């Protein structure tokens, strides 16, 4: 991996009432501009059979700012509004390249409230960050230091559904460099009883974060359903539900970060299965448990950490019969119901733990690819 890695450092911060008001208005303007631009792009394609460019979208935005009913767009920084048009352009590029679906409208309740500021829209001095249109710097909780001499290139401010404020600071991180080569390799079999089972025989227990808080979450959701919509009581009840979800997500993210970092540091090659998680979620009996396991998140973390640290991530085809093959003699078994957790090979009499055997087969298949 060549060059210095750009890395985002995310921190909590506590805005003053004035800062919170400005940021909330900025989030609303960003969402409005995105949705209006998406509607305009869709209209132009439907009537003129052509695609709008980012330059055209930017010119349309300038016209909106001159309209009396949209004059409030001038009260917030113009940079986040331009950035949301750039992100929309990237979304259309991915759509036309068939890498993603058609961009969707942003919802006030469901979409992420965020705004991106580039270097011209914030001031960074003596470890303090001040955004455009603000007099005072943000009160950031510096839970970990930025790299020495770091100069932010982009700052993204967001507010989650539980009311917490975050700032993500993008900097060049010279500390990210390839690790010394290792002679260790590992195959991983994802599961529900064990989150992952490795080819070494290690089983990482599935904490089932959502199940631990299911009763508390169900109670909070029942209370929310009893409240009158758009009332203050409804808002407070919704916040209680959001905070439980946030706590579940935080614990899950913490575990996956620690697990993925350890796997990448210890092994030169990591081999995983290409799981069709979206299709598996159609199984309504297992959908909640599969979502809680967050296999897709683990794969995403392994992908970028392997790229950062000079490791090799290999992905085995999802149809590879890893559970049905004997990892010693290679004999295939016709059927292997999920209820079977251990089995004896009829070819070599080897006794296998289902998940460990599958992980060993995944490793062998991955190492065979060149």
Listed residue (172, 206, 360) closest to 290, CA to CA: 206
pLDDT at 110: 82
pLDDT for residue 280 is more than 80: no
pLDDT grade, residue 279 (50/70/90)? low
- Read off the pLDDT of residues 115-163 as tens digits, 9 standing for 90 and up: 999 999 999 998 999 999 999 999 999 999 999 888 999 999 999 999 9
Residue with tokens 């169900």, as numbered in its chain: 218
Query: Which residues face 198 on adjacent strands?
Result: 188
Residue with tokens 């979208």, as numbered in its chain: 57
Listed residue (201, 207, 221) closest to 355, CA to CA: 201
Report the Cα 67 to chain-centroid distance in Å: 37
3-state percent helix, strand, coil for the chain, nearest multiple of 5? 45, 20, 35
Q: Show which residues are catalytic.
A: 189, 273, 355
Domain ranges in the chain are 5-173, 178-205+263-370
| Nearest-angstrom CA–CA distance, 190 and 210 | 18
Strands across the sheet containing 154-159:
5-12, 165-173, 154-159, 113-118
Q: What's this model's pTM, rounded to 2 decimal places?
A: 0.85
Q: Determine whether 62 is exposed, middle or buried from the number of CB atoms within 10 Å of its CB (0-12, 13-18, 19+).
A: exposed
Query: Which residues face 9 on adjacent strands?
Result: 169
pLDDT at 282: 65
pLDDT at 213: 86
Question: How crowded is residue 273: how many other Cβ atoms within 10 Å of its Cβ?
Answer: 23
DSSP single-letter state for residue 218: H
Contact 174, 257 (CB under 8 A): no
pLDDT grade, residue 183 (50/70/90)? very high
- Read off the pLDDT of residues 352-370 as tens digits, 9 standing for 90 and up: 998 999 999 999 999 987 6
For 257, the 3-state DSSP assignment is helix
- Read off the pLDDT of residues 70-118 as tens digits, 9 standing for 90 and up: 999 999 999 999 999 999 999 999 999 999 999 999 998 888 899 999 9
| Nearest-angstrom CA–CA distance, 360 and 370 | 18
């Amino acid at each position: 991996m060549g060059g210095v890695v750009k890395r985002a450092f995310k921190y909590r911060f506590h805005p003053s009432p004035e800062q919170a008001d400005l940021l909330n208005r900025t989030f609303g303007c960003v969402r409005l501009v995105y949705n209006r631009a998406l509607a305009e792009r869709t209209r132009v394609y439907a009537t003129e059979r052509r695609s709008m460019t980012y330059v055209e979208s930017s010119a349309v935005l300038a016209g909106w700012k001159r309209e009396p009913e949209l004059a409030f767009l001038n009260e917030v920084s113009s940079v986040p509004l331009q950035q949301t048009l750039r992100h929309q352009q990237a979304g259309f590029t991915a759509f036309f390249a068939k890498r993603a679906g058609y961009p969707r409208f942003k919802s006030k309740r469901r979409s992420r409230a965020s705004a991106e500021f580039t270097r011209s829209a914030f001031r960074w001095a003596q470890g303090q960050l001040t955004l455009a249109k603000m007099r005072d710097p943000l009160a950031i909780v510096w839970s970990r230091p930025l790299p020495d001499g770091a100069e932010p290139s982009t700052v993204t401010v967001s507010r989650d559904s539980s009311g917490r404020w975050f700032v993500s600071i993008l900097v060049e991180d010279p500390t990210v460099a390839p690790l010394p080569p290792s002679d260790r390799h590992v195959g991983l079999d994802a599961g529900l009883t064990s989150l992952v089972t490795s080819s070494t025989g290690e089983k990482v227990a599935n904490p089932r974060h959502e199940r631990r808080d299911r009763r508390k979450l169900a109670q909070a959701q029942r209370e929310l359903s009893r409240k009158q919509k758009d009332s203050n009581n409804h808002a407070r009840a919704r916040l209680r539900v959001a905070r439980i979800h946030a706590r579940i997500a935080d614990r899950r993210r913490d575990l996956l970060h620690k697990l993925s970092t350890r796997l990448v540091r210890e092994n030169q090659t990591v081999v995983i299965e290409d799981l069709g998680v979206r299709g598996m979620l159609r199984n309504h009996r297992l959908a909640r448990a599969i979502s809680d396991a967050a296999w897709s998140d683990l794969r995403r973390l392994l992908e970028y950490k392997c790229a950062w640290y000079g490791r090799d991530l290999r992905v085995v085809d999802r149809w590879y019969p890893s559970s049905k093959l004997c990892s010693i003699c290679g004999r295939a078994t016709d059927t292997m119901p999920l209820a079977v957790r251990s089995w004896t090979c009829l070819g070599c009499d080897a006794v296998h733990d289902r998940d460990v055997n599958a992980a060993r087969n995944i490793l062998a298949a991955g190492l065979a690819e060149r």
